[in-house]
Amino acid sequence: MSISARPVPPDAAETAYLKQLGERVRAHRARRGMTRRMLARASAVSERYLAQLEHGAGNISILLLRQVAQALGVPLGDLVREGGEQSVELALMAEFFERLPADKQRALLRTAMDHAGAPKSRERRIALVGLRGAGKTTLGAQLAKRLDVPFVRLGSEIERLAGMTANEIFSLSGQPAYRRLEHRALAAVVEKHTRVVIETGGSLVAEPATLGLLLASCFTVWVRTSPEEHMARVIAQGDHRPMADQADVMDDLRRILAEREPFYRKADAVIDTAGREMEDCLKELVATCRRALPVPA
């Protein structure tokens, strides 16, 4: 029997799939710190449809395409991916990679990046990751001073590379262009510096290729704090951009943190700044880096 193109009511399994699809869209949006309005502008898709999609009521045609994929015995992603056909080797590597525990995945990633020509001297570069307001700027600048190495704010490098501010990049070219610039800026920094402290943007972890480059070329530290302290510090800085246009900013902040946490946890070390003086956090950070890295005492 042929599959009709006419929409049919979804069964329980299809309903669950659409719900999962919506949750994935919402998770990716939160991971990038995008509001639904921002995504609507960037994608030219209405906020109404995005709301339906995120609540598990997406266009029924996705279910028909899923049925075609199931009939062919291939993952749906293989049909909708852009570019040429995925090589057998890449498909086998992806399947093998997913079976490995997290620590072995990281080791294999670094080995692969070494073969691909990734910059060396990972052990002498330190990168701070985490959401804005955790204390990355303060700790990063002081850590660089203690270790007598350059301190680089990746956001500033992106703006220098683009010749415009981050707001202008997003306004004129959108988030994809910013992510490409972010990757280029990071590659340039690690190529130029064998000893450096890098402050990264909070959403860098949303891009697998850029996160992979960071993990392979830097000793990474997640600077973490509570949602309440994140909010208080961002407000003190006078900037509400990460949570713009949201009715309940704290719920949105918690969602962003929850979506990014698995990626932040891939860092080599964690420094929690919640309820602590920055000097105390700095001492812990310096000690952590000196234990792990061959840096001057």
In a domain, 276, yes or no: yes
For 9-66, the pLDDT digits (tens) are: 557 877 887 888 888 888 888 888 888 888 888 878 888 888 888 888 877 677 776 7
Where among 91, 122, 151 does a domain terminate? 91
- What is the number of other CB atoms lying within 10 angstroms of the CB of residue 58? 20
pTM exceeds 0.85 for this model: no
CB-based contact 217:118 (threshold 8 Å): yes
Nearest Cα to Cα of residue 271 among 231, 234, 232, 219: 219
In a domain, 49, yes or no: yes
pLDDT, position 3: 46
Same-domain pairing of 44 and 159: no
The number of residues making up the chain comes to 297
Beta bridge partners of 153: 199
Same-domain pairing of 31 and 67: yes
The CA distance from 201 to 263, in Å, is 13
CA atoms within 13 A on the CB side of 22: 18
For 83-114, the pLDDT digits (tens) are: 666 676 676 777 777 788 877 877 777 677 66
* Average pLDDT of the segment spanning 134-163: 94
Same-domain pairing of 268 and 143: yes
pLDDT, position 264: 93
* DSSP string over 198-227: EEPPTTGGGSHHHHHHHHHHSEEEEEE--H
Where among 91, 121, 144 does a domain terminate? 91
What residues make up the domain containing 159? Answer: 101-292
Nearest Cα to Cα of residue 202 among 176, 172, 177, 230: 230
pLDDT, position 238: 66
Would you give the distance in Å from CA 24 to the centre of its chain?
A: 14
Where among 91, 120, 155 does a domain terminate? 91
CATH number of 59's domain: 1.10.260.40
Q: How many domains does the chain have?
A: 2
pLDDT, position 193: 93
Beta bridge partners of 125: 196
CATH number of 163's domain: 3.40.50.300
